Amino acid sequence: MHPRYRQQIRALGGEEAQAKLRAAKVALVGVGATGSAIAQVLARAGVGTLRLIDRDLPELSNLQRQVLYDERDVEAGLPKAVAAASRLAQINAEVALEVEVADLAPDNAARLLGGVDLVLDGTDNFLTRLLVNDVCLSLGIPWVYVGVVGAEVHSFPVVPGSPPCFRCYLDAPPPPEAVATCDTAGVLGSAVLVAGGLAATEGLKLLVGAEPARGLFVLDTWYREAHRAELPPDPDCPACAGRYDYLGGQGQADTQLCGRDAVLLRAAAPIGDLGALGQRLAGVGELKTANAYLLRFDPPEPGYSLTVFADGRAIVHGTQEPSLARSLYARYVGA
Ligand SMILES: [Zn+2]
């Protein structure tokens, strides 16, 4: 018995289950709060390959709940997917790590999620989950939804060919005023760890071939209340019928970033030469960070900061107004 995984092999019921984990390839969409917790569990569990997909970089306000990062990562300014991979490699050198500094979008989703056995949800928004749902159903890959707001965790697994899927549960992202978000309700780091543990457990079950959970599980970690709601398949669900509207681009737009005074701008085109752009911007404002993945730049207008990624996306800090963010981007980076 592999000494490293001895306790786990007992809990999973045998060496065969461990061999399945070793052979498995898992994609994580987002290595922020829940994604950090999930990634750490799966790396320690000896999952063979982890693909880390993230569009962001660590900030001080992340450290309260994003357990893969520390103050050195905030200082270093490397993307989360890169920082996460280096931390996970220290935790378990047996795990193959694939890094994708990218924003999951309709035009790259099939490539980013293709070829894996399982997808786990580390996102913070419903639009991305609806896209993940479309891609996973279209490729026949199971995935596990998990979300945390405040101290409350919601989760259920989606298995292609076995409704309900995520769109049976939610046809479209709810209007911003209708739901509590991490902006309005905050999020507890302790609840994030519970959420990550729950989702990772469901993932391990799917990987070793155990019967997946049914129904929506809701757990209030503050009041210690839990219930499982029936989740009936929606007979009119487009995704279950093979119509993938979100993969076709429905709902995609520049978005406010939950919990932050910032807007994410979708990429118009990749930046051909990030170094040249950095040199140009250094003469205009203050270039704070520049590496192979991104640059961070404070324009002369006080209170704003732009993080520009090599794929052309940008995060504009200091505003929640997409039009203002877009105009700052156009002014300094290009239209
Ligand atoms: Zn469905």
CATH of the domain at 303: 3.30.310
Give the pLDDT score at 47. 98
> What is the predicted pLDDT for the residue at 13?
85
**Does residue 243 fall inside a structural domain?**
no
| Residues labelled catalytic | 182
Domain assignment of residue 268, yes or no: yes
The alpha carbon of 174 and the centre of ligand 1 are apart by a number of angstroms equal to: 17
Same domain, 80 and 199: yes
Token code pair at residue 287? 């270039």
Q: What is the pLDDT of residue 49?
A: 98
Query: How many folded domains does the chain comprise?
Result: 2
**Pair 225, 277 in one domain:** no
C-alpha of residue 210 to centroid of ligand 1, in Å: 22
Query: Which tens digits make up the pLDDT trace of 267-294?
Result: 767 888 888 999 988 888 999 888 988 9
- Residues with Cβ–ion distance below 5 A, ligand 1: 165, 167-168, 237, 239-240
Ligand 1 centre from 171 Cα, in Å? 9
Residue range of the domain that includes 206: 3-229
**Whether residue 213 is found in the same domain as residue 300:** no
Which residue, of 183, 214, 229, is where some domain finishes? 229
CATH number, domain of 176, equals 3.40.50.720
pLDDT of 98 strictly over 80: yes
Q: Which residues pair with 320 in a beta bridge?
A: none
Task: For residue 76, name the pLDDT band (cuts at 50, 70, 90).
Answer: very high
pLDDT at position 330: 84
Chain centroid to CA 118: 14
How confident is residue 44, by pLDDT bands cut at 50, 70 and 90?
Answer: very high
Instruction: Choose from 114-128, 176-190, 321-335 the range with maximum mean pLDDT.
Output: 114-128
Identify the burial level of 183 via C-beta atoms within 10 angstroms of its C-beta, where 0-12 means exposed, 13-18 middle and 19 or more buried: middle
Give the Cα separation of 301 and 324 in Å (integer). 12
pLDDT over 90 at 252, yes or no: no
Is residue 229 very low, low, confident or very high in pLDDT (cuts 50, 70, 90)? Answer: very high
Pair 129, 8 in one domain: yes
Closest CA to 65 of 100, 90, 102, 40: 40
In this structure, are 219 and 283 located in the same domain?
no
Domain edge (last residue) among 195, 229, 263:
229
Q: Tell me the torsion sign for CA atoms 63, 297, 28, 76.
A: negative
Residue 250, pLDDT score = 85
How crowded is the C-beta side of 227, counted as CA atoms within 13 Å?
5
CA 125 to ligand 1 centroid distance, Å: 18
